[in-house]
Chains A and B, each alone.
Chain A
Amino acid sequence: MLYRTAGQFKTTYQADQALFPVRQDAFLLGVILLFAWVIFPLTASEFAFQTLLIPILIYSLAALGLNVLTGYAGQLSLGTAAFMGVGAYACYKLITIMPWMNPIVAILLSGVFSAGIGVAFGIPSLRIKGFYLAIATLAAQFFLVWLFEKWAWLYNYNASGAIQVPNLDIFGLYVSGPQASSIVQYYVVLFIVCLLTMLCINLTRGTLGRTWKATRDMDIAAELIGINLMKSKLTAFMVSSYIVGVAGALFVFMWRGAAEPNLFDIPLSFRILFIAIIGGLGSIMGNYLGAILIVGLPVVLNLVPNALGIPIDSATVEHLNIMIVGSLIVFFLIVEPHGLAQLWRLIREKLIIWPFPH
């Protein structure tokens, strides 16, 4: 049918190990990229940019970072939001200390700081696993948020204790702050998200990704076949925290425009963990699907009664919304415990051998 692989012969090892063993996958990705790069930005309203497109991309990126650590390397972390905070505050300091710096460079650099902090907090993972490690990352979560509150230098001694994003431009075009237009911010976010996604796809398919997966599946066996666990775990923490830090910088600079320390508190960590779990641990695409479900769906549901002309209280809609999204999460997890990405994988396989039963 749509996914007929007849006639697609692999005659070299290289072709057999290609990123897209099936031509339709590449085509589908092309369509998605066409939508993301051209069709959405040309048709979206301000509202769609600010409440759907930009946040979904940023949340996907944060979940991708977490997925590297939890999904690929098997190290459970509950401190994602705090590492996002590190990225955001680092970016804020970089920009205010060096105002001439290109904002995109600053955002990509801010991940370096969160990578450093992430490795520091990842050290306990060499001795402890599972829930115990989760508690250690929880400590990072509490400590860092406390630090954002108490260390006034981080927010330049603002009386309010919050950070405000200044107007930053690249060659005269505003990319952040209130003067920046949504479409510009969207492209910056899209560019960085695409870049890091590509990086992750290749990392997880390469040596590093394989050592992570081995660590995840059975660390003792991995050690026996010569994998250096310390290196494997700490690189996972490093790469993951880097991506999460960049997501944090984007979160504040390209979307929120201001942030107080408690923004990076545990609810945000959980939210990102849910996105990763519902999307599918150990998959790249799952992060996007999860973010669409958790971030995008509530916004769309909020619009439904209005569009249908049903007179209903905003507060009631909010309550209904929480119920609907909650039950959808439960439904998807019952139908497919491995997340939405696995659901797609099954559908795809069914399609490939259609009309034969799977």
Chain B
Amino acid sequence: MTRFTKLAVAAVVAGLTAGSALAEELYLPNLAYRTGPFAATGIPLMNGQADYMAMLNARDGGIGGVMVNAEECETGYSTEKGVECYEKTKGQAIVTQPWSTGITLQVLPKSNVDEIPILASGYGFSPMMQGETFQWAFNTPGGYWDAADMIIQYLEGQGSLEGKKIVHLHLDHPFGKEPLPVLEQLAEEKGFELVPIPVGLKEMQNQSAQWLQIRRERPDYVVMWGWGAMNAGAVTEAVKTKFPMENFIGVWWAGHDADLRLVGEAGKGYKSISWSIPNLDAPVYADVQKHVIDAGLSKTDAEEMKGVFYGRGLLISAILAEGVISAQKHFETDVIDAKQLRWGLENIDMSEARIEELGLTGMIAPFKTSCNNHTGHSGGWIMEWDGEKFVQASDHLTPNIESYRALAAESAAEYAEANAPWPVNEDCAATN
């Protein structure tokens, strides 16, 4: 009989939690991962996100005078737990932050049915930039295709790519395969040879086979789409095989301080693209220090706070808050719902002046979203590891969106077809 009682209890409890929503708050849950295999990368991001929201609550009494409930639901980066969290929070949530490509893939098809916007800042499915098709999904301020394009732009700035050889070292997983279409297109255009080298999830920690192959191939550059333990594995192997670090460049999730600290000085010259800069002089850091850290509301430590990922966490929450503000202004209400937040996220205007006003000076480039531009394409900078920390190593780069707009439209159309019936935002004029 235990079976019934357990299930009955579960049903009762589920009913209770579902019905216990507090009025007058903005429920912006985060599907966090502080446990599991990727916890090392997750913790600074989650801390940054949580601290920014806690700062808004302490400093301004929330957003537009309504307190934010940025509750975390722990997924451990597991898709199964992610779905559990999504189901648990979707009753009152006005946003979903899935935090893993796997979870994003699971909730994306449901987004039209549940009508809750998905905010996947800098990850997820690149064609999500097509807002008409992916009405509820946002990868603001940059997608993987932007990253791939900017990396190639930067490499081209170092000299023509004609006849060069570039290795795309990537996690053998939807995330690692994301930039391939754009990289292939660019290879054809610029005349370089692209060599994709996959790293299986099981081989993340030991990539000796891949690096042997890299040694054999003698590429001019290695571009890496790595994540979690894979970055540390790749960086240590690169050092071991004496690969020139200055020709090694990663996506923004491969620019994690802790991964590079493992090799320290030996990693000098390693680069990664980033849409965020941890500018410690920005006023936001002082505010967080004063209202959150000194008040003992934070889980972060001084070392972590200086890192790229913590700063990026702050920015992701800032983008979300900006979406909320824009919706509050437009609909003239404090407590917005999921539909209104979608409008808000579609109408973010992160101008230079606004960035200053928010105290995010020098941390992010200006961008704008619209109903057919869900990415914003803020562009980014190349960051370089100087042996101790990441420093800015290039001017601002802007992705060449036009070059893959057709590709995105094609992928989006394919997706819509595969998931028919898939509603498309018809009343969105195709102007960017």
CB contacts (< 8 Å) of A260 on chain B: these are 102, 105, 173-174
**A46 in contact (CB, < 8 A):** yes
**A299 in contact (CB, < 8 A):** yes
Q: Which of A126-176 contact B (CB under 8 A)?
A: 146, 149, 159-162, 164-167
**B10 in contact (CB, < 8 A):** yes
Nearest-Cβ distance from residue B414 to partner chain A, whole angstroms: 8
Complex CA gap A318/B42 in Å reads 15
CB contacts (< 8 Å) of A256 on chain B: these are 79, 83, 106
B109 touching A289 by the CB < 8 A rule?
Answer: no
A303 touching B74 by the CB < 8 A rule?
Answer: no
Size category, A interface: 35 or more
- Known contacts A296-B6, A318-B35, A307 near B16 by CB under 8 Å: yes
B74 touching A296 by the CB < 8 A rule?
Answer: no
**B201 in contact (CB, < 8 A):** yes
CB contacts (< 8 Å) of B112 on chain A: these are 178
Complex CA gap A167/B88 in Å reads 23
Give the residue of B74, B113, B125 whose beta carbon is less than 8 angstroms from that of A179: B113
**A327 in contact (CB, < 8 A):** no
Give the residue of A45, A265, A289 whose beta carbon is less than 8 angstroms from that of B15: A45
Size category, B interface: 35 or more
Q: Name which residue of chain A comes closest to B90, CB basis.
A: A46
Report B85-111 CB contacts with A as 1/0, cut-off 8 Å. 001101100000000011001100110
Give the residue of B6, B109, B174, B200 whose beta carbon is less than 8 angstroms from that of A160: B174
Complex CA gap A179/B106 in Å reads 13
- Among A48-56, A75-83, A112-120, A225-233, which stretch is in contact with chain B? A48-56
CB contacts (< 8 Å) of B2 on chain A: these are 292
The majority secondary structure among interface residues of chain B is: helix
A306 touching B17 by the CB < 8 A rule?
Answer: yes
B102 touching A303 by the CB < 8 A rule?
Answer: no
- Among A10-18, A194-202, A309-317, which stretch is in contact with chain B? A309-317
CB contacts (< 8 Å) of A265 on chain B: these are 201
CB contacts (< 8 Å) of A297 on chain B: these are 6
Give the residue of B17, B87, B201 whose beta carbon is less than 8 angstroms from that of A262: B201
Complex CA gap A354/B213 in Å reads 71
- Known contacts A48-B11, A178-B113, A300-B6, A258 near B180 by CB under 8 Å: no
A52 touching B109 by the CB < 8 A rule?
Answer: no
CB contacts (< 8 Å) of B17 on chain A: these are 303, 306-307
Complex CA gap A247/B10 in Å reads 24
Nearest-Cβ distance from residue A235 to partner chain B, whole angstroms: 31
Give the residue of A166, A300, A314 whose beta carbon is less than 8 angstroms from that of B420: A166
A159 touching B14 by the CB < 8 A rule?
Answer: no
CB contacts (< 8 Å) of A47 on chain B: these are 14, 18, 87-88, 91
CB contacts (< 8 Å) of A164 on chain B: these are 105, 109, 415, 418-419
CB contacts (< 8 Å) of A179 on chain B: these are 113, 421
- Known contacts A256-B83, A265-B201, A303-B17, A160 near B11 by CB under 8 Å: no
A292 touching B73 by the CB < 8 A rule?
Answer: no
Complex CA gap A258/B91 in Å reads 22
Give the residue of B14, B32, B415 whose beta carbon is less than 8 angstroms from that of A314: B32
Q: Which residues of B contact A (CB under 8 A)?
A: 2-4, 6-7, 9-11, 13-18, 32, 34-35, 71-74, 76, 79-80, 83-84, 87-88, 90-91, 101-102, 105-106, 109-110, 112-113, 125, 172-174, 177-178, 180-181, 198, 200-201, 411, 415, 418-421
Question: Could you jot down 22 A-B contacts, CB within 8 Å?
Answer: A43-B11, A47-B88, A47-B91, A48-B7, A51-B88, A146-B200, A159-B411, A161-B177, A164-B418, A178-B110, A258-B105, A292-B3, A296-B7, A296-B10, A297-B6, A299-B84, A304-B13, A307-B16, A314-B32, A314-B71, A314-B73, A318-B34
